[in-house]
Amino acid sequence: MAEPEVSIRNLTYRYRGRKDPALDGINLEVAEGEFVVIMGHSGAGKSTLCTSLNGLVPHFLRGRMEGEVRVGGRSTREGRVGEFGQEVGLVFQDFEAQLFSTNVALEVAFGPENFQVEHEEMVKRVENVLRQVRLEGFEDRTPATLSGGQKQRLAIASVLAIQPRILCLDEPTTDLDPMGKLGVFEIAEELKNRDDVTLIVVEHETEETLDADRIVVLRDGKIVANRPAREVLQDVKLLEESSVMPLQVARFFHERGTEDEQLPLTPEEGVEEFERRGWRVSPERHRELVEADEEREQSYGETLIEVEGLSHHYPNGVVALEGVDLSVREGEFLAVLGQNGSGKTTLVKHFNGLLKPTEGSVRVDGEETVKQGIRRLGQRVGYVFQNPDHQIFSDTVADEVAFGPKIREMDEGEIGERVEEALTAVSMEGRGDEDPFGLTKGERQRVAVASILAVRPEVLILDEPTTGLDYAEQRSMMELIRRLNEAGSTIIVVTHTMWVVAEYAHRAVVMRDGKVALQGSVREVFAEEDELRDASLRPPHIVSFGNALGYPVLSVEEMLRVTEGG
Amino acid sequence: MDPSLYLDRGTWVHRLDPRTKMFLLIGSFVLAFVFLNPLYLLGVLAVVLLFGYLAGVLVNLRRIWFILVAIAIVSAILWSIFGSGRTPLFLFVEREAVTYGIGVALRIDITIIAGMIFLSTTRNEEVAIGLVRLGIPYRFAFAVSTALRLVPTIVATGLTISQAQRSRGLDLESGNFIERIRKHLPLLVPVFVTTVRSTNVFSMALESKGFGASPERTYFLQIAMGRRDVLVLVVFVLLLAGCIALRVVGGYGGLEGFTR
Amino acid sequence: MKEVLTMWRHTQMVVLVALSAAIYAAVLIPFKGFPIIPGAVEIRPANVFPVIFGLLFGPAGAWGAAIGNLIGDFFGTLSPGSIGGFVGNFFLALLPYKMWGAYFRRDENVEQNVSSGKKLAVYIAVAAVASMACAVIIAWWVAVLGIFPFLATLVLIVSNNAIMAIVLGPVLLLALYPRVKQWGLLWTEIMNPEEVPASRLQRVGNVLVWVGSLGGVAVGVILSLTGVASGVGIGLALLPFPILILVGSFILGGREQVEAAHEMIAGEGQESEA
């Protein structure tokens, strides 16, 4: 048998200053042309594993390595990172931090330049590779003017131009919107079909791992699964224990007692299996769900935010919003969905006064936002930005959370109370003395939420609260938000993580090209699959499953509740 | 937002080798300093503006007019106060000092306009490769061009951070001098942290693509001096030499009776 | 001064040059509204960064501050003054880290944060001297060129740099030092001792820089007030002072700071194994 491309034996790696190993006794082989997906919770060691492939571990990062990694027959201990760069192409998660040139063509040529490729050959490669990632015609563009998805495709192109035999993509689609993700998946699809490229991808989105040859699941630095993709995806219990989101259809059947080997994975397979087993959906129980929705609608309080005929034009002429009508009532949990550039963020930035309408009106608590100003509105409408690091600047968690109250000149006692209250609300009570920068991303996000809660706003807007978090962290964050909603806060979430919307939001607004494409209860909105697709959104698998059976459901739990038979 | 001044006009000026343009830029700085007399300086200004017109980039003057005017005014006033001459005008201000002030204002404005023309006709990557071909070590040119690439991104991040902190109630307008300076901390710290945090990923990405793998490298962007470059350089050198001769040998273009 | 060249071997240092230059330029540009001497003097809180960059990133911070200032000029005010701005900002960032080691004995903690009263005092002193040195260099250049009166330039630069560095600096350092250390990006940890000159004549170098900076300011002010406002006269008279600053910088060294940092890392390593 041919020597495997990648051969890892007993790899253990400890970062400098940490006692627990990031990787613990890893044994893994990858053959030429394979497509392997690596999954696991935050901190499981996925990125460390990727960097061990091209010598960054052990040569660049500071720590101790035991065991051996052989790539193309050569051990990574010998030779420098630069040399392995020709065989192993590594694309990092943070697309912003791996682009350094001032134009697209140069960015792609950077790798070949370093490896002294001849000019003629370089020109050919650049052209070729830009076509592969569908960026032809972009040669002279500045990276700053590209969208997130385009930047990531550019990063992939810049690595492909080196023509490595092994391509490793570390969470390439995190932080990308659905269109962006699709673009990257399409490239991965084409790459996997090539025999001369061995593809290793670290991925969160379980729904996209169906095409892999094998899935490797990491937990706490160890490999807990290394089997063909289908088998791993059917091992629902293992995935849940490893903080990886299992495929919803598979989990549904698993909860109903189906054996692992027979679990269907996609909505289509699920529908087939459902009918084959003669299961039915109970119309009465389904109606109960719909009625519960309607009851909840009645229970909302007065209208807090009223948007009428809102249009917004940016100074450079771009029309971001056109004729938007919307109202948000007290106690609601609203999700605003859409592509990047659809206007969803522009819309919600009107609610706290960051943006002023060009036409139309936005009223909060009955008064126009333009009359109130950001400072006053901030008291009523809290806005948690997507990246907590864009806010955090204090030395301690308590100081950070106290920032809002301090600015509003509350007295010492009041401030202390508010800080305690806010920290408890985000399950971080007692941690006021900690250093915010030493926390994990999920914890920093909670601190950011707490700092907004300390001002006790009526409405809480959260921009992409689940990006960059693993499944367990996402659940934890959404449970927190749900608790806040149940305690009386009105919640507006801007996101494109569809399963989160389905399970937690009550109402949804879908934005497309600056206009409202769909509006209504989540159940109603998610039943319109065609419209969603036009807005470049896809409902979660369980929702498609329910829709296909004629009974819209929003979660695995709901589907279980309404199913009978078998 | 793209704060860069570059305008893609495709004129012959744009097509000149970046080294030629750098030489012209430095040369125009020297040219601006040959004369002191505002009348002669106006002549130099006309030449520079003509060049800008041929390059089709004078529209960028709109973006810097405020700077040009502000400097002119400040310079004229400061020199009127600090300089001394022979013919008194009013109070302690002498005519020669005012003339000198205007002359200096013209000098500075000429150099800024020359700088603007250079930046409007030369892409960032051309600057980088020009520097490399002139002998500046690659790593240095790389740091410069990477910094250029990152500036718009960081500015955008800064704006987002500003929005986020303003949403929390940060008000940069109120308070006394020291307080207002301190209020910049919620802006400066996150900008620094988010940017510097990416250093390690950045460095890893660089090394993964072979940065520093070997001491030599090839270049995608090729530049070459053509006939037009030589022609332009010759014309300019003659112009410069002529002006210097005019001032030094002929004694024209200076300013009598002024002391600093 | 050789660390200014040897640093280019380290990828992380190259990246830090680019990042600090970009941060500085990015924070300068929005305030471009009122430049007083294009390329050299503008009112801006961003002026705190060179001192911070220098202390944390050493020579990478020096190059970064210089290049950042130049790039800031690319967005509107490129002129001969920019040369002065380049050199001035280079030293504004260089002097703090070069001088830092001169104030601590072998056994004292020499980390570049402000965790004690003494360190705060050293920080203020070093920031003040660096501000003055930067002002002397830029004002001298600008006066020789004849585009601005020496005194006005001097006062503006010293006050701008010193105020920002002293008001904002310590708090910034408090917030930033632990992060930078955690990420392994302190210059004293990235560079190796042999790449930095030894500090045998540190005290002498320190004194030379003080004399060059304070002297330059004092003599410059006196000369301006008594009549030689600018031009070749003041250029010649003040020339010794930038030269003193330069010579002092060469002598200052800095190796023991790097050695101390490496010892700390080694110590930590042993702790985690124990």
Of A51, A145, A158, the CB nearest to B209: A158
> pLDDT digit string (tens) for C161-195?
898 899 889 989 988 998 899 888 999 999 999 89
Can A6-239 and A294-535 be said to share one CATH topology?
A: yes
List the alpha helices (DSSP H) in chain B.
Answer: 12-15, 18-34, 38-55, 61-82, 95-121, 124-133, 138-167, 177-182, 185-197, 199-208, 227-248
A17–C272: do the CB atoms touch at under 8 Å? yes
Neighbors of chain B with 3 or more C-beta pairs under 8 Å: A, C
CB < 8 Å from C in window 38-67 of B: 63-64, 66-67
pTM (two decimals)? 0.88
Q: Are strands A214-219 and A222-228 parallel, antiparallel or unpaired?
A: antiparallel
A63: closest chain C residue by CA:
C269
Neighbors of chain A with 3 or more C-beta pairs under 8 Å: B, C
The per-residue pLDDT for A2 is 64
The per-residue pLDDT for C232 is 65
Of C18, C174, C184, the CB nearest to A62: C184
Strand partners, A66: A12
List, for chain A, all residue ranges whose pLDDT scores fall below the cut of 70. Answer: 1-2, 566
Whether the CB-CB separation of C22 and B150 falls below 8 Å is answered with yes
C265–A437: do the CB atoms touch at under 8 Å? no
A437–C272: do the CB atoms touch at under 8 Å? no
User: What secondary structure letter does DSSP report for B259?
Assistant: B
Per-domain residue ranges of chain A: 6-239, 294-535
Homologous superfamily (CATH) of A6-239 is P-loop containing nucleotide triphosphate hydrolases (3.40.50.300)
In total, the C-beta contacts within 8 angstroms joining chain A to chain B are 180
Three-state DSSP at A69 gives: strand
**Which residues from chain B sit within 8 angstroms of residue A462, using beta carbons?**
none
Distance (Å, whole) CA A359 – CA C152: 49
The per-residue pLDDT for B58 is 85
Determine phi and psi for C40, rounding to 5 degrees: -125, -35
Determine phi and psi for A268, rounding to 5 degrees: -60, -50
Cα dihedral sign, B60-B64-B65-B71: negative
* Sheet architecture: strand order including A35-40: A88-91, A166-170, A198-202, A35-40, A214-219, A222-228
Element (H, E) at A325: strand A319-329
Look at the block and give the residue holding tokens 């001298």: C140
Other Cβ atoms within 10 Å of A309 Cβ, number: 12
Of A19, A437, A438, the CB nearest to C272: A19
Whether the CB-CB separation of A305 and A351 falls below 8 Å is answered with yes
Distance (Å, whole) CA A490 – CA A351: 13
- The one-letter amino acid code at C170 reads P
Strand partners, A537: none
Position with higher pLDDT, B11 vs A384: A384
**Which residues from chain B sit within 8 angstroms of residue A120, using beta carbons?**
none
The per-residue pLDDT for A201 is 93
Distance (Å, whole) CA C242 – CA C144: 13
Distance (Å, whole) CA A71 – CA A88: 8
Domains of chain C by range and CATH? 3-273 (1.10.1760.20)
**Which residues from chain A sit within 8 angstroms of residue B219, using beta carbons?**
113, 119
C172–B185: do the CB atoms touch at under 8 Å? yes
The per-residue pLDDT for A548 is 92
The per-residue pLDDT for A412 is 87
> pLDDT digit string (tens) for B117-126?
888 888 878 8
Is residue B2 over pLDDT 70? no
Looking at the complex, report in whole angstroms how far the Cα of residue B143 sits from the nearest Cα belonging to chain C: 5
Distance (Å, whole) CA A130 – CA A307: 43
pLDDT band at C33 (very low <50, low <70, confident <90, very high): very low
The per-residue pLDDT for C34 is 46
Q: Where are the beta strands (DSSP E) in C70-140?
A: none
A116–B218: do the CB atoms touch at under 8 Å? yes
Residue to mutate among A49, A115, A142, with most B CBs inside 10 A, is: A142
Is residue C155 over pLDDT 90? no
Q: Which CATH class is domain A294-535?
A: alpha beta
C18–A100: do the CB atoms touch at under 8 Å? yes
pLDDT band at B257 (very low <50, low <70, confident <90, very high): low
Q: What is the mean pLDDT of chain B?
A: 84
Distance (Å, whole) CA A112 – CA A100: 14
Distance (Å, whole) CA C71 – CA C86: 10
The per-residue pLDDT for B172 is 74
Q: How many residues does chain B have?
A: 260
**Which residues from chain A sit within 8 angstroms of residue B165, using beta carbons?**
391
The per-residue pLDDT for B143 is 92
Is residue C39 over pLDDT 80? no
Element (H, E) at B89: strand B88-90
B169–A118: do the CB atoms touch at under 8 Å? no
Whether the CB-CB separation of C84 and C39 falls below 8 Å is answered with yes
CB < 8 Å from B in window 81-110 of C: 81
Task: List the end-to-end C-alpha distance of chain C, in Å, as a whole number.
Answer: 39
Other Cβ atoms within 10 Å of B239 Cβ, number: 14
ipTM: 0.86
